[in-house]
Structure 1
Amino acid sequence: MITRLVEEVLVGGNLEALDQLYTPAMARVARGWIGPFRASFPDTRMQIVQLVSDGNTVAARFRCTGTHLGEWRGHAPTGRRFENIDEAMLR
């Protein structure tokens, strides 16, 4: 699930995959931030560095790179690039 979320949705922009990965309510919430994030940082790339699973819980660490090309949370695009930012996700 985490691999699909990162590769298909966050990097690939396939928001329809959220319906297969989450409940309907969670898919709506995810669309609410992923859609605007992808519009603001359309060249985003994420590399999964580590996945750890313990029963029903999965933690992921990944590196994120992109360029601020669209408005994000009221901030005008800067054109600035970020590279290899460490991120983490817990599900």
Structure 2
Amino acid sequence: MTEIESTVRRFVADVWNGGREETAYEIVAADCPGLGATGPDGTLAWHRDRRAAFPDLRYKVVDLVVSADRAAVRWRAAGTQLGQFGPVPPTGQLVSYSGATFLRFDTDGKIIDAWSVNELFQLLQQLGVEVLPPA
């Protein structure tokens, strides 16, 4: 296993699944873009928000590809909505959805860029949100 692969798996296990915020400070670079802030604080802001809505949310790595200073992670996630998710009040609904996260690393092995895409529309449908096109 490469150092980058090990870091990605640790990121998913510790930060995404374990809520061990100290790991983000060890493996996310200070200038990594995030939600409203840069570095570990920006990364953690997104995960805190998501965990507030889905406290039991768990991610499973489906596929992981590493090349030079980059990694692509295809994942599945499942959790129960017990908190506010955007405009959607708590539903108690169990949801499952997929996505992919693309990471770039600096020469010290820290994450300097993270970009994700996921099945947000499918997630919202599972919460009972009806999305209608404009009239």
Question: 5+ unaligned residues in a row in structure 1: which ranges?
Answer: none
Structure 1 range deviating more: 14-23 or 71-80: 71-80
Q: Which residue of 1 aligns with 2:113?
A: none
**4+ residue runs of structure 1 moved beyond 6 angstroms?**
none
The RMSD of aligned alpha carbons is 1.2
* Letter of the structure 1 residue corresponding to residue 65 of structure 2: V
Higher RCO (CA < 8 A, seq sep 6+)? 1
Q: Secondary structure at the match of 1:59?
A: strand
Percent of pairs with identical residues? 30
1:71 and 1:81 mapped to 2: Cα distance?
14
Q: Which structure: greater helix fraction?
A: 1
Structure 2 regions of 5+ residues with no counterpart? 1-6, 31-37, 104-135
Work out which of the two has the higher radius of gyration on C-alpha atoms and give 1 or 2.
Answer: 2
Deviation at 1:44, TM superposition (A): 0.9
* 2:78 maps to 1:72: no
Q: Distance in 2 between matches of 1:89 and 1:2?
A: 10
My pick for the range that moved more, 46-55 or 23-32, is: 23-32
Aligned length: 90
Query: Pick from 17, 20, 41: which aligns with 2:23?
Result: 17
| TM-score in terms of structure 2 length | 0.62
CA offsets 1:50-73 (integer angstroms, 9 cap, x no match):
110111010001111111111122
Deviates more, 1:15-24 or 1:60-69: 15-24
Is this contact kept in 2: 1:15–1:35, CA < 8 A? no
